[in-house]
Amino acid sequence: MRRPECDTSQTLRRPDRTPRPPWLPPDFASQTYWRAIPSNPLCCPGKLNFAVVHMLEIEDLRTVRAISEHGSLARAARVLGIGQPALTRRLAGLEARLKGQLFLRDRRGALPTDLARLLLAEAAPLLLGLEALELRITALRGNQQQDLVLAAGTWAVESIGATAAARMLGDFPQLRIRVRPTTWLEIPALLRERKATLGLLDLTQLGTPPDLVITPLLPQPGLFLVRPGHPLLALPRPGLVEALAWPLIFVGHSPAQAQAPVAAARAASHAAGATHPAFPALVLESALLGLAALRRCDAVAAAPAVLAAQAIDRGEAVALPFHAPWMMIRWGIIHRRGQRLGPAEQAFIDRLREEDSAAGVAGRRCFAALGLAWPA
């Protein structure tokens, strides 16, 4: 079919006297909603028709973005907080108005069509501008609270996350911080589903997801500890093999880099006839609870060096004087790529970095007292 010629007489233009709203990106004047848009949908491919633009609502754009990001109507429905049948009806209505299919659906999920990709590309500045506006409105509301949700590993919360959050309370009185302790496996999903603002986790197994921005923190070594007077302390140089002869308090999902060395140490301990049968004997995600349990038993507990230093200073635990490279924890802060961070989020990241630096100082002091070299 021959493409119609572009009729510039029917082109709708933004009046020059209309100012650009300050919350929109500076280059927004060149985007769909503010530029000359032909009224004929066929004459200029790659641009949305003016009538099409005005039959859309913000929720329509957010719906298309959610389905495209999560690749499935079921996951997108959970993110949007509606049922899947309602989302299916919403998508069908939108496709009927646009007179085109937005997603190719099969049992593997939903793939965006060219029409969906065009819609998302043209609408992205508008959605980003609205999110920036919402952040500014929230910051200016003096009598209403703002929520910041931190999804974090339990060890990270106990080491630096809780103290960083506490320091925010005086500077941002209208900010409510919700700390959601969870495993590192769930944190990226919570960010993608917009159920968390920031993530704090061990980066060792995360990789480099293209949709997440990663801010690495300082590496933090881990240590194994026992109660004062534990029989292990009578040995000249107790190591992991000797420690595994006793009940171990450890997390449920051990890091991948720890699995092979621990398995080898258990085999050596078993060969010596001294392996404790249950492994771990007590599963606890909290390092603080594990350290507290030492007062009541002869178990061995693992903890980051910063928490170990605090327990040692209180006289509640003694660290076993050994360390290996696989015992390193590499924490980092993550958030969604393209996410607009407001003053509160930026300040919280700064507090986390400061607490991380202080944790490094405490860890170095602990290692020096044990006669151990600080890991490079």
Measured in degrees and rounded to the nearest 5, phi and psi for residue 315 equal 75, 20
Domain spans of the chain, in order of start: 8-140, 146-219+330-362, 221-327+364-370
pLDDT of 36 reads 33
Q: How confident is the model at residue 213 (pLDDT cuts 50, 70, 90)?
A: very high
CATH numeric code, 221-327+364-370:
3.40.190.10
Rounded (10°) angle between helices 84-98 and 73-80:
100
Q: Which tops the pLDDT comparison, 274 or 23? A: 274
User: Which range in 48-62, 191-205, 287-301 is most confidently predicted, on average pLDDT?
Assistant: 287-301
pLDDT mean over 273-291 = 89
CATH architecture of 8-140: Orthogonal Bundle (1.10)
Residue 46, pLDDT score: 46
* pLDDT, average across residues 93-118: 87
> Token match 């407001």: residue?
342
Question: Mean pLDDT over residues 99-104, rounded?
Answer: 89
Count of beta carbons in the 10 Å neighbourhood of residue 3: 10
Q: How far apart are CA 198 and CA 190, in angstroms?
A: 9
Is pLDDT above 80 for 2?
Answer: no
75-79, 266-270, 282-286: the lowest-pLDDT one: 75-79
Q: Evaluate if residue 278 carries a pLDDT over 90.
A: no
The pLDDT assigned to 144 comes to 53
- What integer pLDDT is reported at residue 26 of this predicted model? 52
Percent of the chain with pLDDT over 70: 82
Range with the poorest average pLDDT among 15-19, 167-171, 279-283, 369-373: 15-19
CATH fold for domain 146-219+330-362: D-Maltodextrin-Binding Protein; domain 2 (3.40.190)
Q: Is the separation of the CB atoms in 362 and 305 below 8 Å? A: yes
Asked whether the predicted pLDDT for residue 60 surpasses 70, the reply is yes
Q: What is the pLDDT of residue 22?
A: 52
What's the pLDDT at 40? Answer: 38
Q: How high does pLDDT run on average in the chain?
A: 81
* CB 9, CB 17: distance < 8 Å: no
Please indicate whether the domains covering 8-140 and 146-219+330-362 agree at the CATH topology level: no
Is pLDDT at 325 greater than 60 in this prediction? Answer: yes
- Looking at the chain, the whole-number percentage of residues with pLDDT higher than 90 is 36
Which tens digits make up the pLDDT trace of 220-257?
999 999 999 999 999 988 999 999 999 999 988 777 78
Asked if pLDDT for residue 208 goes beyond 80, the answer is: yes
Question: What is the pLDDT at residue 116?
Answer: 87
pLDDT given for residue 257 in this prediction: 84
pLDDT at 322 over 80: yes
Q: How confident is the model at residue 43 (pLDDT cuts 50, 70, 90)?
A: very low
User: pLDDT at residue 34 above 80?
Assistant: no
Q: What is the pTM of this model?
A: 0.65
Q: Is the pLDDT of residue 1 over 80?
A: no
Quick one: pLDDT at residue 214?
94
Cα 102 to Cα 37, 44, 80, 114, 250: the distances in Å are 22, 20, 18, 8, 48
| 128-181 pLDDT tens trace | 777 777 766 666 655 555 789 999 999 999 999 999 999 998 888 888 899 988
Most confident of 30-34, 122-126, 229-233: 229-233
69 has a pLDDT exceeding 70: yes
Confidence at residue 55, expressed as pLDDT on a 0 to 100 scale: 65
